Amino acid sequence: MGVGASVFLPLKYAIPHILPFWLDASLVGAERSVFGTDPWMLLDHLFGWAAVPMDKLYGLWLPTQALVMFTVMLQPPSAAKTRALIAYVLTWFVLGVVAATAFSSAGPIFHDRVFGGDSFAALVATLRSRGASMVLAESDRMWTSFASARPGIVAGISAVPSIHVAISIWFVFAARVLAPSAAKYAALYSLVIWVGSVQLGWHYATDGLAGALGAWAIWGLSRPLAAILRDGWSAGARRHATQLS
């Protein structure tokens, strides 16, 4: 987990240099066809009044996921804990690096800066009028880092899949096996993060779906991987005991 955390940002920053953003046009066209407009507009119509608290809640996602991760790490050893930690590491790497590179995309908040035009000018104007200062300030810092080719603590632009949604869905799976009473709250949190990711312009609606499906697939894969790891440790312990005897 430590190694993964160390290499995630450099790898994410390198995505558009490995494979330039190519998926945005298809996603914009598809979502406008399905919804009749940009999904962020529909969400702003419904939840525009909550833009500021949504902005702050979304901005607190990183410390929230760190708190949940450390809470899982501090649980007593169990098959469920092993599975949860395997799924956590794989979700960050498989979805946050491998899938993000394959589906290289910038997202609505960066669309016009990357591709030109004013397709999402209304998004930025709406966020500013709503007072959603965190997303505007953070996106400016990320763009400055990208445009200047000087990665810092805040670096890397990637839309598909949404790692925010994917890890939030991991909260749900981890809670179901380690703290079932918290699962419904985790599910509500993941839904709010999905809505916020679209309303604030960080992601297309499709990004959250891709993140959720990816997290679900990885959770399924983590079960046999946890069994293999557990069996390997058991076999090693038995061999060690035999040698000592």
Q: Which tens digit of pLDDT belongs to each residue from 37-61?
A: 999 999 999 999 999 999 999 999 9
| Strands annotated E in the chain | none
SS3 state of residue 124: helix
Residue range 130-174, pLDDT digits in tens: 999 999 999 999 999 888 877 766 668 999 999 999 999 999 999
Query: pLDDT confidence of 78, banded at 50, 70, 90?
Result: very high
- Which pTM was predicted? 0.92
As a whole number of angstroms, the distance between CA 159 and CA 120 comes to 15
Tokens representing 152 are: 């810092």
In angstroms, the Cα distances linking 202 to 113, 124, 127, 212 are 13, 11, 12, 16
Confidence of residue 11 (pLDDT cuts 50, 70, 90): confident
